[in-house]
Every structure is written in C-alpha cells, then in structure tokens.
C-alpha cells in the first residue's frame, strides 16, 4: 500500500514524501532506514525528501509504531546529501525526528530525535538513494527548531535506502 505523508515537521517547510508501509525491518539492501546504537530503529518505509530538487534525506512511516520519521540535513536550505561520496557531519549536520501520526513537530515536545554534530554519511548512489552513516556528538532534539537539548551518550550507525 502506498501512503502519502506530510513531513512538515522537518522545518517549517511543508515537505511531502510517498512511501510504502511494509512493516518488516530494513536492511541496507532494501527500502528503509536502519539505526543502531544510542538510538535503534528499523523500518521498511522510505522516500527521498528534496528541497529545490536536491536530496536532503529520507522520510517515511514506521507502521509498527505508527510514527512518521525524517532523517535529513539540519540546515535543509543550505546543505544536502545530493552528491555521491563522503559528507562530513561536522559541516552538514543531520537530524533524526519521529512523531506520532498527526503531531506537529513545529511545536516543542511533539517529536523525539537527535542531531548529530560529528561523523560521516557515505552516499553510495542517488538513484536509488543509498547511504550508510556513523554519527557521534549527539544531542537530543524534540522539534524542528534549531534548539538543541542535552548531550546524548554513544553513537549511531546505520543505513538508508529509498527508491526514486
């Protein structure tokens, strides 16, 4: 089944992604997002999110929890993942947010997630979008603003794959 989700919680921009909702866990060779370490998530729902035709990350719905998620560059207007190769997260910070269906992440405490301030995202291909990552210097984030919460311990590794 194809579901249309609004990912406006990434920023104040109304971003839209379409994704399938297969509930099985993701692997790096299948559609989805997989996180392990300080934050663990696995979903088989993923779609590329773009701003001005540049890929800024992926988003989807985890049907097992009924939460929407996004994994994007923190500054979606000035940084992107639209290049094959290594992206330095200390320059192009990334943000993971998830929210209950219907919640608005432009409001404080409506979402949960983190901002990574160090590490790398290795983009293997753009079409389909495929990347692996190792993230550190994590801080909590509970909305789409630039406000950062307390530091988190540990690292997050994983992968994402989103067919065009």
pLDDT of residue 81: 96
Condensed to tens digits (0 to 9), the pLDDT of residues 102-148 reads 888 888 888 999 999 999 999 999 999 999 999 999 999 988 888 88
Cross-strand partners of 4: 18
pLDDT of residue 144: 82
**Residue 104 belongs to domain spanning:** 2-162
pTM of the predicted protein model = 0.82
Q: Which two structure tokens, joined as six digits, stand for 49?
A: 């999110």
Condensed to tens digits (0 to 9), the pLDDT of residues 17-60 reads 333 333 334 457 789 999 999 999 988 889 999 999 999 999 99
* Strand ranges inside the chain, DSSP E: 2-6, 16-20, 32-37, 41-43, 47-51, 54-62, 67-73, 85-88, 94-100, 111-126, 129-140, 156-162
Model confidence at 82: pLDDT above 60: yes
pLDDT of residue 59: 94
Domain count, the chain: 1
Model confidence at 3: pLDDT above 60: no
């Amino acid at each position: 089944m194809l579901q249309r989700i609004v990912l406006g919680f990434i920023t104040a921009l109304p971003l839209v992604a379409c994704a399938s909702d297969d509930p099985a866990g993701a692997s790096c060779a299948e559609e989805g997002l997989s996180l392990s370490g300080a934050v663990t998530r696995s979903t088989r729902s993923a779609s590329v999110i773009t701003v001005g035709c540049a890929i800024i990350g992926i988003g989807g719905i985890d049907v097992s929890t009924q939460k929407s998620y996004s994994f994007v560059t923190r500054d979606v207007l000035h940084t992107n993942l639209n290049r094959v190769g290594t992206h330095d997260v200390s320059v192009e910070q990334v943000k993971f947010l998830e929210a209950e269906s219907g919640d608005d992440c432009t409001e404080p405490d409506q979402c949960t997630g983190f901002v990574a301030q160090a590490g790398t995202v290795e983009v293997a291909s753009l079409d389909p979008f495929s990347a692996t990552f190792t993230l550190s210097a994590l801080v909590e984030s509970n909305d789409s603003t630039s406000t950062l919460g307390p530091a988190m311990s540990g690292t997050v590794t994983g992968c994402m794959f989103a067919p065009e």
